[in-house]
Amino acid sequence: MNYDSWAALRGKIKSKKGIWRIGEGVESHGYDLINDLVGHYSFMQVVVLNATGRMPSRALAHWFEAVHMCLSWPDPRIWCNRIGALGGSAGASVVAATSAGIMATDSRAYGIRPIVEGMEFIQRAQTEVSSEGGSAAEFVAREVKKHNGKPYLMGYARPVAKGDERIAALERVARQHDFTRGPHMRLAGEIEALLSEQFDESMNINGYVSAFLSDLGFSAEEVYRIFSVVVFSGITACYVDSADRPAGHFAPLQVDDIEYSGKEDRQIGGK
C-alpha cells in the first residue's frame, strides 16, 4: 500500500534524539542528561548537541554563546525587539512576546535566514573560486552583475549602518580559543576587500559567522537550527522594559500620527 510508511508509525514514536524513561532517567543523544551532561557541559554545548546531534567543544560553544550575545541588543527599535516591547506594552505574556519576536526574525531581511543564505553563499563562492582558473575578483564581478551592479552579496553590508562592530568581538573570542582562519574565512576577507574598494561596503556578522562555521564543516541547515532563537534575550529585555511601565506607554500613537492614503469616504452600494 502507498500508505505503509505512515501505517507503520501509528501509535508509535521513533527518535534519534532521546527518551525520558520514567524512574530510570533521561537520555539525550546517548548521554545520561542528568548525570553526564548537567554540570559537566555548558548549556550552549547541549543547545548545539540538540540541534545537530554532535557535541561541540566547550570552546566552540563559548563562541556560539558570543554570537547569541552579539544578536541580543536591548534596543527596541530593532524589529524583533520592537515586537517584544509592544508585547510588554500591550500586556501580553513574556513567553508570547518573546516567541513572537523570535518568529519575526524568520526573515530574509535580517535575523536568521540571512545566515542560512550567507552559509550557502560562502560555500558556493569557495567552490567556484577554487575551481580551475577561478578568482575572488571574477566571482565578485559576476555576483554584482547578477544584482544589476549593486553589491548585494549575502554576508556583506547591513541595514541601517555600514560596518559591523560585532565581527571584532567574535574574532577576539575566536583568538581566545585558538581558532584559526580557514579557506572560507580567507575568501570572505578577499571578497570584503574587493567590496570595500569598489563600493565602500564591508562584511557583516552574518558573513563572518557563515565563513567561520563553513570552515568548521557546518551546513546551512544546521546553523539555522542552532540559531533558531538567537535574538531571544534582546527581545525579552525590551519586553521587560515596557511591561514594567504603565500599559500602552511604549511608542504610543495618536490618531493623527497615522497618515491615511486610501479611498475617500463612501457608502455600501455606491451611495
Partner 1 sequence: MSSASANVRSRGEKFTPRIETKITRETSAAHNPFLVEQCRMHGYDHLELIDRCEFSDVIFLLLRGELPEPGERRLFRRLSIALINPGPRHPATQASITAGVGKTLTVNVLPIALSIFGGEFDGAGGVEQAMRYYRRASRKPAAEAAAAANPPPGFGTLYGDPDTYAEKLLRHLLQGDGEYRILDWVRQLHELLRPRQLGILKAGICAAALADLGFQPRQGNSLMQLMAAPGLLAHGLEFANKPLTSMLFEPDSSYEVEYPAAGEQAAAEQT
Positions in the binding site for partner 1 (CB under 8 A): 1-6, 11-16, 18-19, 21-22, 27, 29-30, 52-57, 60, 92-93, 95-96, 99-100, 103, 159-165, 167-169, 216-217, 252-268
Q: Which residues make Cβ contacts (< 8 Å) with residue 222, sequence separation at least 6?
A: 51, 52
Q: Which residues make Cβ contacts (< 8 Å) with residue 206, sequence separation at least 6?
A: 114, 115, 118, 154, 155, 158
Residue at 240: amino acid letter: V
Residue written as grid cell 553590508: 157
- By beta-carbon proximity to partner 1, the closer residue of 35 and 57 is 57
Strands 25-28 and 31-32: antiparallel
Minimum distance from CB of 120 to partner 1 (Å)? 19
Give the span between the Cα atoms of 130 and 136, in whole angstroms.
Answer: 9
Minimum distance from CB of 56 to partner 1 (Å)? 5
Minimum distance from CB of 252 to partner 1 (Å)? 7
Minimum distance from CB of 7 to partner 1 (Å)? 9
Cell triple for 69 = 550575545
